[in-house]
Chains A and B, each alone.
Chain A
Amino acid sequence: MEASEILKKIRKIEITTRALVNEVFSGEYHSMFKGHGLEFAEVREYQEGDSYKEIDWMVTARMGKPHIKKFNETRELNVFFLVDKSASSLYGTYNNIKSDIIAEITALLSFSALSNNDKVGLILFSDQIEQYSPPRKGKRNALKILRDILYYKSDNKGTKIEKATEFVWKISKKRSIIFIISDFYDEGYEHSLRILSRKHDVVAFRIVDPSEITIPDAGIMHMQDPETGKKITVNTSSKRFRENFHSYMNQQSLDLEKNFKKMKIDLLTIKTNEDYIPNLIKFFKNRVKRIRKG
C-alpha cells in the first residue's frame, strides 16, 4: 500500500471509529473490564450491603467492630493488541481482506481505550514477534498503532500464537487487557493462552472469511497455502468435498469455541463479509453483564 493511501485509510478509520467510540462505547468501556489494579481508598465501619469479602479482619480485630477496607480501581489499564500479521491475514474474498478488518477493530478499540485514558501497546506477530510498541497513552500513539498495523509487512508467513502470548506474558507485569486478533489457524497455543488468561483479561477476535467456512462451487481450483506454500488442485464442484470441508470447518469452529469457553476467554468470530459493529456492541454488552454478575 502507498503511504498516502494508508494515511487516507487511517483517517477514514479514525473518523468512523471516533463516532462509534463516542456513541457506543463511551459509557460501557470503563465497565467492560474488571480493573483489579487497586488503590487504597479508606477503611470504614461495615454497613449493611457491604460485601463480607471486603471485611478487613486485622482492623476489625483491633477495633472490635467489623470494618471494611475500600479500594478504588486504578484506571490507566494497559491494553495490548496481539495482531496476527501472518500471510493468511491477507486473505479475503469479499470487500475486505482479513487484515483490513483487523485494523478497523484495533482502531476502534484503541480509540476507546484512548478516551478512557488507558495505555495501548501493540504486538505484531507471525510465527515470531514482528514488532512491539510498548503501551503508551495519547492519540498520537493510537494513530501510530493503526499505521503500524496497516503498514507493516511481515516477511514471515506462518502463524504461532504461542510466541505472542509468551511474549506478552514476559513483558506485562501489571494486569492488562489483551486483545488477540487472529484467524486462529494455529495449534498448540492453548496452554500458554490459558496461563495468560489467568493473570490478564484476554479477549479473542477471530476473523474468518466466508470462503473459509464454505468453499464456493468454482470448478477446478489450483490453490496454494500462503503460509506453508503447499499446493493442491481440487475440484470444488465436488459436492461431497464441499460438504466434508464445511462440516470439518464447522467442527473446528465449535471446538475452538468450546476450548475458549473452558479457558474463560471471550471469543467473537467476525466474518469479513458482515457488518461486525452490531455484533461487536452486542458482544461487549454481554460481557459487561457477565462481569457485573460475577
Chain B
Amino acid sequence: MTQFINPLWLLLILILPLYWYYEWKVKSKKRPRVQYPLVKVIKKVYKYNHWSLYIPIIIKSVLIVLIALALARPRQVIEHKDINKKGIDIVFALDLSGSMLAVDFKPVNRIEAAKNVAADFVNLRENDRIGIVTFAEYAYTLSPLTFDHNMLLHTIENLDVDEDQNGTAIGSGIATAITRLKDSEAKSKIIILITDGRNNAGEIDPMTAAELAKTLGIKVYCVAVGGTGPVDFPFLHPIFGVQYRKVEIDIDIPALDAIAKTTGTNKASVATNTEELNRIMEEINSLEKTEITQKNYYEYKETFPKILYIIIVIILFDILRRTVFRREIL
C-alpha cells in the first residue's frame, strides 16, 4: 500500500494547465526569436509538426508531476498485524438427518436454509475460530476449529443430507462438538446446534452431553428449524420422479430447551422460516460479542528517493539534449 504524507502537494499537478497556457500564450510571445526572413517558406516546407518540438514542454511537465509526487512524500506501508486474536470458538453442530430435506423454508429446504445462515454467520465472525460437526445417526467432524473461513465456507457449501443414515443423534452431535472444544483456551466456547428432530439414535443422551458441556463451560445454542405440523417432504416415486407429500415431523423442543437451559442459553429458538432463522443467528451473533485487541505495527518505506533519482536522470538527459544531441537555439 502506498500512502502520501503530504498529499496537498499533489495539488501542484494542477498548475500543469497553467504552465501549458504559459508556454502556448505568454512565453511564445515573449520568447526571443531568431529573426528569419523566410518563415513563409518554412511554413510551406515544414508541414509536419514533429513531436520532438514538444520535448522541452513534455520534459518540464513530467518534471512538475514528479516533483509534486516527491513533495507529497509517498511511502510504502507494510503492515504487521499481531495475530493474537482473542476471539471465541464456535462449533456448528448441524443436523443432516433425512428430515432436513423437508421444504418449509420455501423455496429451499431446511438444510439449504441452515447452510445459508451458517455461511452468513461465518462471514460475520471474522475473528473467531469456527468448526463444523454434522450428525445424523452418527456424528462426524467436518472441520476442526480454524481461522480459515474460506475453507469453512467451502465446506458448508458442500454439505448435504446423508440419506444412508437413519435417525438423529443429537447427543452424539453435541458430544463430538464438545470434543472439538474441550481443549480450547478461548474465553468463550459455544456450540450452535441446528436440528429439526428428536434424539432417536446414538449412545449419548443429549442431556448427558449438555451436562458435559456445562462442566466444560461450553454454551449450546439450540436452533430448531421447521415448524410443527405436516410439511412437504420429497420422496422419489418410481414413475413420477421426485414427489412431495405431507409428513409430520416431530421436533423435541422441550428437550432442546432443557439443553439450552442447562448450558446457560435460556431456551431453544424455533425458526419456521428464513427470516426467523436469520434473526436467531443475528441474535446469537450479538450475544457473543468478542473484543479484539489487535495491535498493528507499521513499517514505512520512503519512495521519494526513487522519484528524485528519476528527476535527476531526466534533468541530466535534458542537459545532454540541449547541448549534445539536439541543441535548442534560444
Contacts and interface: CB of A to CB of B under 8 A. Distances in A.
Interface string A191-226: 000000000000000000001100000111111111
Given A221-B329, A222-B329, A235-B53, A185 B45 contact: no
Nearest to B56: A220
B35 A224 contact: yes
Contact of A223 (B42, B50, B327): B42
Given A219-B328, A231-B33, A237-B326, A225 B53 contact: no
Interface in B10-65: 28, 31-46, 50, 52-53, 55-56
B46 A232 contact: yes
Interface stretch (A9-17, A37-45, A47-55, A243-251): A243-251
B37 A227 contact: yes
B328 A226 contact: no
Interface string B307-330: 000000000000000100011111
A146 B228 CA distance: 127
Given A241-B46, A244-B45, A231 B34 contact: no
Interface residues of B, number: 28
A224 B45 contact: no
B43 A222 contact: no
- Of listed B35, B38, B42, residue having the most chain A CB within 10 A: B38
A62 interface: no
A218 B326 CA distance: 8
A238 B33 CA distance: 19
Contacts of A219: 322, 326-329
A13 B329 CA distance: 34
Nearest to A221: B329
Interface string B295-311: 00000000000000000
B16 to A, nearest CB: 20
Contacts of A185: 37-38
A133 B311 CA distance: 64
Contacts of A118: none
Contacts of A252: 41
Nearest to A244: B45
A183 interface: yes
Interface in A141-174: none
B251 to A, nearest CB: 89
B31 A225 contact: no
Contact of A225 (B32, B39, B328, B329): B39
Contacts of A224: 33-36, 39
Contact of A222 (B33, B37, B322): B33
Nearest to A86: B37
- Of listed A219, A226, A252, residue having the most chain B CB within 10 A: A219
- Of listed A218, A230, A235, A249, residue having the most chain B CB within 10 A: A235
A22 interface: no
B43 A232 contact: yes
Given A235-B50, A241-B46, A223 B40 contact: no
A220 B41 contact: no
Nearest to B31: A222
A88 interface: yes
A90 B35 CA distance: 9
A248 B39 contact: no
Contact of B50 (A183, A225, A238): A238
A91 interface: yes
A231 B34 CA distance: 10
A228 interface: yes
A234 B42 contact: yes
Interface string A235-272: 11110010011001100100000000000000000000
Contacts of A211: 36
B37 A225 contact: yes
B54 to A, nearest CB: 9
A233 interface: yes
Contacts of A220: 52-53, 55-56, 326-329
Given A222-B31, A223-B34, A238-B50, A230 B40 contact: yes
Given A232-B42, A234-B46, A241-B45, A222 B35 contact: no
A18 B112 CA distance: 119
Nearest to A245: B45
A219 B328 CA distance: 5
A205 B53 CA distance: 37
A222 B42 contact: no
- Of listed A91, A225, A231, residue having the most chain B CB within 10 A: A225
A-B pairs, top 10 by smallest CB distance, nearest first, are A219-B327, A88-B37, A225-B39, A224-B33, A223-B36, A226-B35, A220-B328, A244-B45, A221-B329, A222-B33
8 contacts: A88-B37, A220-B55, A220-B328, A225-B38, A230-B43, A232-B46, A233-B28, A245-B42
Given A87-B37, A236-B329, 15 more contacts: A183-B37, A219-B322, A219-B328, A220-B56, A222-B329, A223-B36, A223-B39, A224-B34, A226-B36, A228-B39, A233-B28, A235-B53, A238-B50, A245-B46, A252-B41
Interface of B: 28, 31-46, 50, 52-53, 55-56, 322, 326-330
Interface of A: 87-88, 90-91, 183, 185, 211-212, 218-228, 230-238, 241, 244-245, 248-249, 252
